[in-house]
Chains A and B, each alone.
Chain A
Amino acid sequence: MIIMESQTMPRVISIKQVLIITVLSVLIVTVLVILNRPRLTLNVSSEFNYETGVTANGEPYKGSPDAQITMVLYSDFVCVHCGDFTDAIKELSEEFIESGKLRIIFRNYAHYSDESPLAAQAAECALDQGADKFWQYHDLIIENRGIGTRAYSKAQLSAYAVQIGLDTVRFNKGLNSEARAKKIQDDYDKAKKDGITGTPTWFLNGTKYKGAYTETRLRGILNNLLKNRQ
């Protein structure tokens, strides 16, 4: 019961007031939900300052095809080190990729965990809709990486497709496709035959490197290569 003061009348709460507050709250929540719409994380931009494309073998690349250095990168989306390596490369993006000195060709080696093949398959489905979409998708998965969680579940992989504005019907069809899954397996078998045993494994103009080098170390190697080619 509301206690009554002897001199001031207590204000009674009316149903009308409660309704107004309720409507206001629902409106605020709606606004918050709309503003919270998924969007790309800060590091993923929908405009690239470099070229993206697909090689004759159907592999996605980023950087100028005329670049002095070509990196062929075998990577796995679930692999922790690949994530670290991607971060290192990102730091060097302006210096080497945008300036036309380095081109990176991506190849799947889905070996790390049993979640790897599906993630690789999802990225290929993104590639269907454009090399730039592939790279956006690639960056998004890696940005949100986590192991032993459902970060690579079909639902999550589909959600990423929504986030970057892919045709989701087409994407999900590819994600469920047996033929696609087989291709990922074939890529794996071929890479294994070619001597790839782990990720990241990368080649710079044919020279093989293994492991996630740091930004500093990678910069050094790239600069050396450029100098030697002068």
Chain B
Amino acid sequence: MQKIDWKKWSIISFSFAGFWLSCYLLWARLTNHQVFCGNSISCDLVLKSAYSAIAGVPVTFLGLLAYLILLIITLLRGHVVKYHDANIRLATYGISLTGFLYSGYLTYIQIFVLGAMCVWCLISMVLITIIFIMTIHDITEALRPI
């Protein structure tokens, strides 16, 4: 029981952090503020690049949604009927896998195509990777026969 709580609250914390990070990036984009990037404008190059939106929708917004949904459904764990717990785990796995893969692709784009890295995107990559590893653990746990 304690084991589940520890993972659950880790996912909640990291999703929370990811959500606010995405909010910051989205706000900066919408208000045309330069994000804090030390002395470099590498961040701006990435965040305003041709890869920063999909069909007009900013990628940061998609990240915001993903983190928000992860946050909400993980908070619901333990407060819904037990058999929904399995669905939540699957959904969490699906979302974090999607986020993890897509973040990996964007990291590749930064390194090999844009030649510039945005530290905020890196942080998000780390967050979603940790969340993803936790969901793997959850899934393998849930796959074990009762």
Contact = CB atoms under 8 A, between A and B. Distances in A.
Is the pairing of A and B real? yes
Interface of A: 1-5, 8-15, 17-18, 21-22, 24-26, 28-29, 32-33, 35-36, 38-41, 144, 146-151, 153, 155-156, 159, 163
B30 interface: no
Interface in B87-107: 87, 89-90, 93-94, 97-98, 101-102, 105
A14 B89 CA distance: 12
Given A2-B142, A10-B146, A146 B116 contact: yes
Interface string B32-43: 000000001110
Contact of B116 (A11, A17, A151): A151
A13 B116 contact: no
A36 B112 contact: no
Given A2-B142, A10-B82, A10-B86, A33 B112 contact: no
A146 B55 CA distance: 24
Interface centre among A15, A39, A149, A150 (most CB of B within 10 A): A149
User: Which size bracket describes the interface of B in this complex?
Assistant: 35 or more
B97 A25 contact: yes
Contact of A29 (B1, B81, B101): B101
A80 B98 CA distance: 38
B40 A148 contact: yes
A189 to B, nearest CB: 29
B139 A13 contact: yes
B54 A36 contact: yes
Interface centre among B59, B62, B142 (most CB of A within 10 A): B142
A18 B139 CA distance: 8
A149 B113 contact: no
A39 to B, nearest CB: 6
B51 A146 contact: no
A155 B112 contact: yes
A13 B89 contact: yes
B139 A11 contact: no
A155 B112 CA distance: 8
A35 B26 CA distance: 20
Contacts of B90: 13, 17-18, 21
A9 B48 CA distance: 50
B143 A146 contact: no
A146 B145 CA distance: 56
Contact of A5 (B41, B82, B114, B141): B82
13 contacts: A2-B82, A2-B85, A2-B142, A4-B82, A10-B82, A10-B146, A13-B86, A25-B98, A26-B101, A32-B54, A36-B54, A146-B44, A155-B115
